[in-house]
């Protein structure tokens, strides 16, 4: 296998010896190096060995800078540009898949953090935590939990944001980014809250009613646009019918027996 593995793979493919071909594919896959990977890749492509072809592609992808300096790559780029294009396409797909996976993980992490923030928001305005609590409950050392909050870091950040939101003078004019973030959190809570009437989070019920009014307005606007579109179409059709009748009447009057 060390000396004649490449030759045996070619012969096993030509003479259709599947057991030998499988042994050669496994053996060459275990002996892949940066120096011989391009040659083995070309052979795997010609001999229809997908497993070996994929192993070669992965090795090239992980060591592309080194592989590009080998004699096999230079020979391949000069004599087989289609294979070079396949390799570059494979690398682009791997990079795109890696970026997609990274973006998906970041999105999932963000959704998880927002979910935990919603739980902490309800916890702060229902039970109270450290320095912020419901308006009708005084936060003292007597009614505080002895054990630390399980999501203390998130709760602490929300409490600082709430304290800033309560005393900020720029929030009315919309010039404070921290207040905008707080508005977004309150709006998100109202969107997922299923008990707005009994919820103790501030502005929950008002935000839900406002969002329902906005949705209703959008539906009404859509219906109005559809009505206007149909009326305009009917108007155009009537104008076309009137023009056709005028031409027909004129033709009848100009006809002589």
**pLDDT in tens for each of the 257 residues of the chain?**
888 989 999 999 999 999 999 999 999 999 999 999 999 999 999 999 999 999 999 999 999 999 999 999 999 989 899 999 999 999 999 999 999 999 989 988 888 888 888 888 887 887 777 667 665 555 554 345 445 567 777 788 888 888 888 777 776 556 688 888 888 888 888 877 777 777 878 778 777 777 666 666 666 567 656 665 666 666 567 667 666 666 555 554 443 43
Same domain, 75 and 122: no
Nearest to 56 by CA among 166, 47, 129: 47
pTM of this prediction exceeds 0.75: no
Residue 36 belongs to domain with CATH number: 1.25.40
Q: Could you tell me the CATH number of the domain that includes residue 199? A: 1.20.1020.10
| Residue 225 and residue 184 share a domain | yes
- Both 140 and 223 in one domain: the answer is yes
Task: Give yes or no: residues 66 and 127 share one domain.
Answer: no
Structural domain boundaries enclosing 137: 109-254
- Residue 210 within any structural domain of the chain: yes
Helix 37-46 and helix 5-14, axial crossing angle in degrees, nearest 10: 10
DSSP 170: S
Of 67, 64, 121, the C-alpha closest to 95 is: 64
HSE, side-chain direction, 13 A CA sphere, residue 218: 6
pLDDT of residue 42: 93
- Tell me, what's the pLDDT at 53? 94
* Backbone torsions φ then ψ of 185, nearest 5 degrees: -65, -45
pLDDT of res. 212: 67
Return the pLDDT at 148.
Answer: 55
- Write out pLDDT tens, residues 165-220: 877 777 655 668 888 888 888 888 887 777 777 787 877 877 777 766 666 666 65
Domain end point (choices 37, 59, 79): 79
Structure confidence by residue, pLDDT tens digits, 241-255:
666 666 555 554 443
Q: Which pLDDT score is estimated for 124?
A: 80
């Amino acid at each position: 296998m060390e000396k004649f593995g490449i030759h045996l793979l070619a012969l096993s493919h030509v003479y259709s010896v599947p057991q030998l071909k499988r042994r050669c594919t496994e053996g060459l896959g275990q002996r892949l190096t940066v120096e011989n990977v391009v040659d083995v890749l070309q052979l795997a492509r010609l001999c229809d060995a997908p497993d070996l072809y994929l192993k070669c592609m992965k090795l090239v992808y992980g060591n592309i800078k080194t592989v590009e300096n080998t004699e096999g790559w230079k020979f391949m780029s000069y004599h087989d540009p289609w294979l070079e294009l396949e390799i570059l396409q494979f690398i682009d797909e791997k990079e795109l898949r890696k970026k997609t996976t990274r973006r998906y993980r970041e999105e999932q992490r963000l959704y998880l953090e927002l979910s935990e923030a919603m739980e902490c928001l309800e916890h702060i305005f229902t039970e109270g935590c450290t320095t912020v609590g419901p308006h009708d409950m005084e936060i003292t050392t007597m009614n505080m939990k002895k054990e630390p909050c399980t999501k203390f870091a998130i709760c602490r950040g929300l409490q600082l944001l709430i304290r800033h939101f309560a005393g900020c003078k720029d929030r009315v004019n919309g010039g404070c980014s921290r207040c905008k973030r707080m508005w977004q959190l309150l709006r998100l809570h109202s969107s997922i809250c299923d008990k707005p009437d009994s919820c103790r989070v501030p502005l929950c019920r008002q935000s839900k009613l406002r969002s329902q009014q906005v949705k209703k307005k959008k539906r009404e606007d859509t219906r109005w646009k559809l009505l206007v579109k149909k009326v305009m179409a009917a108007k155009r059709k009537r104008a076309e019918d009137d023009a056709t009748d005028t031409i027909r009447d004129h033709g009848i009057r100009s006809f002589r027996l």
